[in-house]
Chains A and B, each alone.
Chain A
Amino acid sequence: MSLADELYRETILDHYHNPRNQGVLEGPSILSVEGVNPLCGDELILYLDVKDGKVEGISIKSRGCSINTASSSMMTEAVKGLPVERVEELIDAFKNMMLKGEQTAVPEEFEDLEALQGVKKYPVRIKCALLPWNTLIEALHSAASGETAKAISTE
């Protein structure tokens, strides 16, 4: 299999070139969390709006690589509008898929996210894919505890 078949699948390139939910969210209920991958210097800011236990709004401002950008884009699409508990289940499912190689029971919300499975063969890039998800975990913690800004790292 070539690199294009494994890693740079069409779905990934589509999200890379046209990332969904990119940019800054503003408003009194919005919290922002910074995620950093010290290995490559990729940084992103995740904006999250949680209302009544539901992810009302989510966006990411970043300048990441294809894998990072696609993962961010797909993640925001997958979790927008979902209850926080379901989002937490999806985060677990995604991390299991990427880190433990579990292929069974892919949640229906994943759709495009399955395309990221090819990244597993490139261990260095797994961090690129995980950065938005780890940042989302922090953001949900912050939302639960009422904080509004935080920085996390994937190291």
Chain B
Amino acid sequence: MLDVARVRKDFPILDRIVNGRPLVYLDSAATSQKPQCVIDSITDYYSRYNSNIHRGIHSLGEEATAAYEGVREKVCNFIKATSAREVIFTRNTTEAVNLVASTYGRQHILAGDEILLTPLEHHSNLIPWQTLAKERDAKLVYCDVTEDGKVDVESVKRLINSRTRIVAVTLTSNVLGTIVPVAEICTIAHASGAVVFVDGAQAVPHLPVSVQDLQCDFLAFSMHKMLGPTGVGILWGKAEILEEMPPQMYGGNMINSVWRDRVILNQVPWRFEAGTPNIADVIASGVALDYLQALGMNNVRAHEKQLSQYALAQFSKIPGIKLYGPSTVEDRAGVFSFNLSGVHPHDVGQIVNEEGIAIRVGHHCCQPLMRDLDISGTARASFYVYTTEEEIDLLIGALDKARKVLGHVACR
């Protein structure tokens, strides 16, 4: 198990006082906090070996290139991929989805083809596919979700057919916390010849994820949700698929040779990394991966499972609370969306903020799911390696206050 007290010492921001109270940060699903070692590595890069990469032969350039490419290896190990060539650096998960939709998607989606999604998808794993489908006169198909927010795998089986080209699915819902049985979905999709794009933004930071176990074709996630800096996303794709994909951007670094009238493109993955990348933050992302590896992803998952068990028990004691998502910790991550009867989520967020507690409120970039649930939004508390049961208690106390301030019987 994690030594959370020790972990917390590594995160300087946790010493902050907000509105007169020690910060209780329960918004890690939006972005995680950063340990000192990650923060230091950015300063270290800029003060010791700042240089552009893949060009020139001076020492600084070599050091920076080695550090940057070394992170590709670390990502490869982290997600149990077979080759670092399959790892592409993007700005974020959103850019990774757009990259695949605008290259692989445009190559393979024709009129009448189908793209299968779950109703749990974040806007970033929905709108690129929706736009592609419109552009190609293809069809977007949504599988079913059960009452407690689990993906109905039978509906996936029923809906996948010979016209299904792409299945885009989240591994963990950023609203309901549902862990989706992606491996099973991959087996079904592959049997029909469809490829599977996995949005791992909420999963890779919190669970051991192996692309070999999942057998997916693409996996995308963002480093800022897993202790790294903002501005670095990862797209992993199977080498044989990446080899056939055209680049989404052209420019420096992605070429082998250029003539006045033609170009020979660079190899995968550099073909997809035009221009000077976010070198400092990629290097700092490597430090974040090391930090998580040292904690052990099994331990991270065990810690969050324990917190989730505690949260489920505590939340259920609050009168008038509606908790969304699976009720068993095996099926869910440490992301809890809820509503208090008669209190709008915006007001919940405002009142708990007065106690120094940071939670997210709103539609969480999942408006279609909000419409399915017939709500305008939820309040959401999300956990990570530094979260404690005491912090959950503080949230529960603040929710009681929110109920008292506003939760008088709503007369509408």
Asked if A64 and B354 make an inter-chain contact with CB atoms under 8 angstroms apart, the answer reads: no
Asked if B370 and A65 make an inter-chain contact with CB atoms under 8 angstroms apart, the answer reads: no
Asked if B376 and A16 make an inter-chain contact with CB atoms under 8 angstroms apart, the answer reads: no
CB within 8 Å of B: which A64-110 residues: 64-69
Instruction: Find chain B residues with CB under 8 A from A39 CB.
Output: 362
- Shortest distance from the beta carbon of A3 to any chain B beta carbon, whole Å: 5
Q: Which of B350, B351, B375, B405 contacts A125 (CB 8 A)?
A: B350
Given contacts A19-B412, A40-B361, whether A122 and B344 have CB atoms under 8 Å apart is: no
Asked if B412 and A41 make an inter-chain contact with CB atoms under 8 angstroms apart, the answer reads: no
Rounded to whole angstroms, the CA-CA distance of A68 and B377 in the bound complex is 14
Rounded to whole angstroms, the CA-CA distance of A125 and B221 in the bound complex is 31
- Shortest distance from the beta carbon of B359 to any chain A beta carbon, whole Å: 13
Asked if B362 and A41 make an inter-chain contact with CB atoms under 8 angstroms apart, the answer reads: yes
Instruction: Find chain A residues with CB under 8 A from B361 CB.
Output: 40
Asked if B406 and A40 make an inter-chain contact with CB atoms under 8 angstroms apart, the answer reads: no
Asked if A4 and B405 make an inter-chain contact with CB atoms under 8 angstroms apart, the answer reads: yes
Asked if A8 and B363 make an inter-chain contact with CB atoms under 8 angstroms apart, the answer reads: no
Asked if A3 and B405 make an inter-chain contact with CB atoms under 8 angstroms apart, the answer reads: yes
Rounded to whole angstroms, the CA-CA distance of A122 and B354 in the bound complex is 12
A112 at the binding interface (Cβ < 8 Å): no
B410 at the binding interface (Cβ < 8 Å): yes
Q: Which of A18, A41, A66 contacts B347 (CB 8 A)?
A: A66
Rounded to whole angstroms, the CA-CA distance of A2 and B404 in the bound complex is 14
A43 at the binding interface (Cβ < 8 Å): yes
A24 at the binding interface (Cβ < 8 Å): no
- Shortest distance from the beta carbon of B374 to any chain A beta carbon, whole Å: 9
Asked if B351 and A3 make an inter-chain contact with CB atoms under 8 angstroms apart, the answer reads: yes
Q: Which of A7, A42, A66, A125 contacts B376 (CB 8 A)?
A: A42
The proximity string for B residues 369-412 relative to A, scoring 1 for CB distances below 8 Å and 0 otherwise, is: 01000011100000000000000000000000000011011111
Q: Which of B363, B406, B409, B411 contacts A66 (CB 8 A)?
A: B406
- Shortest distance from the beta carbon of B351 to any chain A beta carbon, whole Å: 6
The total of chain A residues at the interface (CB under 8 A) is 26
Asked if A128 and B346 make an inter-chain contact with CB atoms under 8 angstroms apart, the answer reads: yes
B230 at the binding interface (Cβ < 8 Å): no
Rounded to whole angstroms, the CA-CA distance of A74 and B12 in the bound complex is 45
Asked if B350 and A41 make an inter-chain contact with CB atoms under 8 angstroms apart, the answer reads: no
Asked if B350 and A122 make an inter-chain contact with CB atoms under 8 angstroms apart, the answer reads: yes
Closest residue of chain A to B365 (Cβ to Cβ) is A41
Asked if B406 and A3 make an inter-chain contact with CB atoms under 8 angstroms apart, the answer reads: no
Rounded to whole angstroms, the CA-CA distance of A40 and B362 in the bound complex is 4
* Contact-size category for B: 20 to 34
Asked if A17 and B408 make an inter-chain contact with CB atoms under 8 angstroms apart, the answer reads: yes
Given contacts A39-B362, A40-B377, A66-B406, whether A18 and B411 have CB atoms under 8 Å apart is: yes
B367 at the binding interface (Cβ < 8 Å): yes
A51 at the binding interface (Cβ < 8 Å): no
Asked if A8 and B405 make an inter-chain contact with CB atoms under 8 angstroms apart, the answer reads: yes
Asked if B346 and A40 make an inter-chain contact with CB atoms under 8 angstroms apart, the answer reads: yes
Rounded to whole angstroms, the CA-CA distance of A50 and B308 in the bound complex is 54
- Shortest distance from the beta carbon of B127 to any chain A beta carbon, whole Å: 13
Closest residue of chain A to B377 (Cβ to Cβ) is A41
A148 at the binding interface (Cβ < 8 Å): no
Asked if B354 and A3 make an inter-chain contact with CB atoms under 8 angstroms apart, the answer reads: yes
Instruction: Find chain B residues with CB under 8 A from A8 CB.
Output: 347, 405-406
Rounded to whole angstroms, the CA-CA distance of A66 and B340 in the bound complex is 13
Rounded to whole angstroms, the CA-CA distance of A40 and B350 in the bound complex is 13
Closest residue of chain A to B366 (Cβ to Cβ) is A41
Closest residue of chain B to A22 (Cβ to Cβ) is B412
Instruction: Find chain A residues with CB under 8 A from B344 CB.
Output: 63-66, 68-69
Rounded to whole angstroms, the CA-CA distance of A17 and B410 in the bound complex is 5
Instruction: Find chain B residues with CB under 8 A from A17 CB.
Output: 342, 408-411
Instruction: Find chain B residues with CB under 8 A from A65 CB.
Output: 344-347
A152 at the binding interface (Cβ < 8 Å): no
Instruction: Find chain B residues with CB under 8 A from A66 CB.
Output: 344, 346-347, 406
B residues touching A (Cβ–Cβ < 8 Å)?
Answer: 342, 344-347, 350-351, 354, 361-363, 367, 370, 375-377, 405-406, 408-412
What are 22 inter-chain pairs, A to B, with CB distance below 8 A? A3-B350, A3-B351, A3-B354, A3-B405, A8-B347, A13-B408, A16-B406, A17-B408, A17-B411, A40-B345, A40-B363, A40-B376, A41-B376, A43-B376, A64-B344, A65-B344, A65-B345, A65-B347, A66-B344, A66-B346, A66-B406, A67-B346
Known: A40-B346, A66-B344. 5 other contacts (CB 8 A): A3-B354, A22-B412, A41-B362, A41-B370, A65-B347
- Report, nearest first, the 7 A-B pairs whose CB atoms are least far apart: A41-B363, A65-B346, A65-B344, A40-B362, A63-B376, A41-B377, A3-B354
